[in-house]
Chains A and B, each alone.
Chain A
Amino acid sequence: MEPRETVAAVGSAEAPPVHAKSRARLVDREARPRTLVKVGSATVGAGLCVIAGPCSVESEEQVLETARAVKRAGADMLRGGAFKPRTSPYDFQGLGLEGLRLLAAAGRETGLPVVTEVMDPRDVSWVAEHADLLQIGARNMQNFTLLKEVGRCPRPVLLKRGMQATLDEWLLCAEYILAEGNPNVILCERGIRTFERYTRNTLDLSAAAAVLERSHLPVIVDPTHGTGRASLVLPMSLAAVAAGAHGLMIEVHRRPAEALSDAEQALTPEQFGTLMERVRGLAAFMGAGAAEREGGR
């Protein structure tokens, strides 16, 4: 590669909006009517879909107990990591295939569809055997090989926003998946990196609302990673629902203090129960408002 080109590539880290706009994209709002993504018994894109569960699958007992608790509280889908992208290579890396088996078994037992992260293109077909929804994590948002691989897989995909990604870059990553022939993509806002360090990330709720303007794909919000603080998960969940998000992704651990990863941000099953009541109440109120507006037209 010419040195000049390298400089140019670094200089253009932000996708040039003019160029990106120059051709019609599958991800654009105008391309098609609003996409509803079916994930087992759940639908994302209409009403409120709540995904909950532990950060990592740690043991059969832990995942099953948490699955039952979130099911009781009214969650629509179970999450759980088997392959964990950890900042440090010495941190718990996940149980791998065994974790997937445990997660799938907990899903079958509770009747909840399951979502889990896939990090390696070589893992996609194997993860798809167990998961109903494949998650691309924030750190892998622009792993284009991985995006193409899930684009060819007959499973819906949850695409998290990279912590340094602009809205346009995020949508172009969804475009990679759509372009490979997989129309079932859910976007997930999970916070971006700013100079604020009180929260783990800065939850960019405007991005969720902006996605609704820009794309037909459903968008959900992850206030757990977005704030990194259990105490902020409830208020930000309410804000996300108020902003029009189609769903939430919440980390719940039976005993957060004992969690092998992300201990400080998981909710207890009791806290999650309270959250569910509050967000369901708000969603019902907003749904009624929407119906009134529709009726008034």
Chain B
Amino acid sequence: MEAHEAKRELESLRRRIDEVDMELLTLLEERMELGLRTRALKSGPLDAARELSVLARAKQNSLALVGEGFAQEVFSSIMAESRRLQGERHTIVAFQGEHGAHSEIAARSLVPGAATVPCVEFGDVFLGVQQGRFELGVVPVENSLEGPVSQVSALLPESGLWIRGEASVPVKHCLMAWPGSDYRDLRVAYSHPMALGQCRGFLARHKLEPRPFYDTAGAARMLAREKPRGAAAVASALAARLYGLEVIQEGIEDEESNTTRFLLLSRSPSEEGDKCSAVFTVRHESGQLLKALELFAGAGLNLTRIASMPCRSDPGNYRFFLDFEGTDRDPAVRDVLAALQERATSFRFLGCYPAGR
């Protein structure tokens, strides 16, 4: 083999080694997450019998190059690290999407030091928190370019969960592709429909066909694994880093101010706060909504958001979501809420929580 051919071959093998390393890290992350989730279900971080069975399986399934000794060594050290993490008692926060999703970025800013666990659907986040599998959940509620996230608005009122906090996160999208793919050959862009909507202008300028996917970071992960031809993904810079993709262009959203508001959800309400949320329905009669809103005006409460969503079970009727400045410790606020509850055909207070900056 000529020297330059050998060099090229070496480079190509090393690229594949890098890919495998990335995959190993992703799998280790997942293993640590699952370990953390077992913590609440057993008496302590160490379960000696379980560790012995893991090591036995490692020994049994050892391969030609990964021998018994090495396999057991690797698993011993993985389990030692898992025990250490379980001892640190990380808060477990669920989000929808894959690692690198904007929801995960929001979760990290809302709960620093938390262990963030990905879920495929919004429903999995709600159910997981309701059933106690996760301590907290983070979901997007509204985007400055694309409006409300309808699934979240549909799930929240019935979930019985409380809003404990909120964060407005600037959303910076990147166009990314497999390293070495030519940007001139790109024809399609995979991402969450919300993200594709936020980058409509950019995608049109480059004649990239938007292809909806269940998640932004999920699209990046799929790209890294399956390497479809002519395909790019729209996701965060974090996702590009996590899945070893090359960022072709940063900041591709149509408006630089692109922001998504996220809610932190839990089974119990927050102990303090200066902002409240509620959802209600009123009789379909003239002036009913106005009378409901007048209660807030009368008490001098500033509404920061009014959104309406069709009632799923009752077409033609709407559910109204209100956010307002104030605390439920304030008697005036309590009076307004009590009066609203009386007027409304259905009413739920969603929580009083610290307003995001």
Q: Smallest CB-CB separation from A128: which chain B residue?
A: B205
User: Is B184's CB within 8 Å of the partner chain A?
Assistant: yes
How far, in whole Å, are A173 and B172 apart by their CA atoms in the complex?
Answer: 39
CB distance from B216 to the nearest CB of A (A): 20
How far, in whole Å, are A71 and B136 apart by their CA atoms in the complex?
Answer: 52
User: Is B12's CB within 8 Å of the partner chain A?
Assistant: no
**Contact between chains at B249 and A123 (CB < 8 Å):** no
User: Is B321's CB within 8 Å of the partner chain A?
Assistant: no
CB distance from B342 to the nearest CB of A (A): 56
User: Is B183's CB within 8 Å of the partner chain A?
Assistant: yes
With beta carbons under 8 angstroms apart, the residue of B184, B205, B207 that contacts A123 is: B184
With beta carbons under 8 angstroms apart, the residue of B183, B206, B207 that contacts A97 is: B183
CB distance from B40 to the nearest CB of A (A): 46
User: Is B248's CB within 8 Å of the partner chain A?
Assistant: yes
CB distance from B253 to the nearest CB of A (A): 13
**Contact between chains at B249 and A129 (CB < 8 Å):** yes
Q: Smallest CB-CB separation from A122: which chain B residue?
A: B184
How far, in whole Å, are A257 and B183 apart by their CA atoms in the complex?
Answer: 33
How far, in whole Å, are A5 and B184 apart by their CA atoms in the complex?
Answer: 35
- A120-B184 in contact given A125-B205, A125-B206 (Cβ < 8 Å): yes
User: Is A126's CB within 8 Å of the partner chain B?
Assistant: yes
Scan residues 170-222 of chain B and give those whose CB is less than 8 A from a CB of chain A.
Answer: 183-184, 205-207
A residues touching B (Cβ–Cβ < 8 Å)? 97, 120, 122-123, 125-126, 128-129
CB distance from A82 to the nearest CB of B (A): 13
Label chain B's interface by main secondary structure.
Answer: mixed
How far, in whole Å, are A120 and B185 apart by their CA atoms in the complex?
Answer: 13
Q: Smallest CB-CB separation from B249: which chain A residue?
A: A129
**Contact between chains at A97 and B205 (CB < 8 Å):** no
CB distance from A90 to the nearest CB of B (A): 14
B residues touching A (Cβ–Cβ < 8 Å)? 183-184, 205-207, 248-249
Q: Smallest CB-CB separation from A126: which chain B residue?
A: B183
CB distance from B94 to the nearest CB of A (A): 36
How far, in whole Å, are A126 and B184 apart by their CA atoms in the complex?
Answer: 9
Other than the given A123-B184, A126-B183, 13 more pairs (CB < 8 A) read A97-B183, A97-B248, A120-B184, A122-B184, A125-B205, A125-B206, A125-B207, A126-B184, A126-B206, A126-B249, A128-B205, A129-B205, A129-B249
Label chain A's interface by main secondary structure.
Answer: helix
User: B206: which A residues are within 8 A, CB to CB?
Assistant: 125-126
How far, in whole Å, are A120 and B184 apart by their CA atoms in the complex?
Answer: 10
How far, in whole Å, are A122 and B185 apart by their CA atoms in the complex?
Answer: 9
A selection of 10 A-B contacts at a CB cut-off of 8 Å is A97-B248, A122-B184, A123-B184, A125-B206, A125-B207, A126-B206, A126-B249, A128-B205, A129-B205, A129-B249
6 interchain residue pairs of minimum CB distance:
A122-B184, A125-B206, A125-B205, A129-B249, A126-B183, A97-B183
User: B183: which A residues are within 8 A, CB to CB?
Assistant: 97, 126
How far, in whole Å, are A122 and B207 apart by their CA atoms in the complex?
Answer: 11
User: B184: which A residues are within 8 A, CB to CB?
Assistant: 120, 122-123, 126
User: B249: which A residues are within 8 A, CB to CB?
Assistant: 126, 129
User: A125: which B residues are within 8 A, CB to CB?
Assistant: 205-207
User: A128: which B residues are within 8 A, CB to CB?
Assistant: 205
Q: Smallest CB-CB separation from B252: which chain A residue?
A: A129
How far, in whole Å, are A123 and B183 apart by their CA atoms in the complex?
Answer: 9
CB distance from B178 to the nearest CB of A (A): 15
Q: Smallest CB-CB separation from B248: which chain A residue?
A: A97
How far, in whole Å, are A13 and B205 apart by their CA atoms in the complex?
Answer: 35
Q: Smallest CB-CB separation from A130: which chain B residue?
A: B249
How far, in whole Å, are A250 and B201 apart by their CA atoms in the complex?
Answer: 35
How far, in whole Å, are A162 and B184 apart by their CA atoms in the complex?
Answer: 26
CB distance from B31 to the nearest CB of A (A): 36
How far, in whole Å, are A255 and B248 apart by their CA atoms in the complex?
Answer: 30
CB distance from A101 to the nearest CB of B (A): 8
CB distance from B242 to the nearest CB of A (A): 21
CB distance from B207 to the nearest CB of A (A): 8
How far, in whole Å, are A126 and B249 apart by their CA atoms in the complex?
Answer: 9
How far, in whole Å, are A125 and B206 apart by their CA atoms in the complex?
Answer: 6
User: A120: which B residues are within 8 A, CB to CB?
Assistant: 184
User: A97: which B residues are within 8 A, CB to CB?
Assistant: 183, 248
How far, in whole Å, are A125 and B249 apart by their CA atoms in the complex?
Answer: 12
How far, in whole Å, are A145 and B216 apart by their CA atoms in the complex?
Answer: 35
How far, in whole Å, are A120 and B183 apart by their CA atoms in the complex?
Answer: 12
Q: Smallest CB-CB separation from B202: which chain A residue?
A: A129
How far, in whole Å, are A122 and B205 apart by their CA atoms in the complex?
Answer: 12
How far, in whole Å, are A128 and B205 apart by their CA atoms in the complex?
Answer: 10
How far, in whole Å, are A294 and B61 apart by their CA atoms in the complex?
Answer: 93
How far, in whole Å, are A71 and B171 apart by their CA atoms in the complex?
Answer: 33
How far, in whole Å, are A274 and B207 apart by their CA atoms in the complex?
Answer: 46
User: B205: which A residues are within 8 A, CB to CB?
Assistant: 125, 128-129
CB distance from A235 to the nearest CB of B (A): 42
User: A122: which B residues are within 8 A, CB to CB?
Assistant: 184
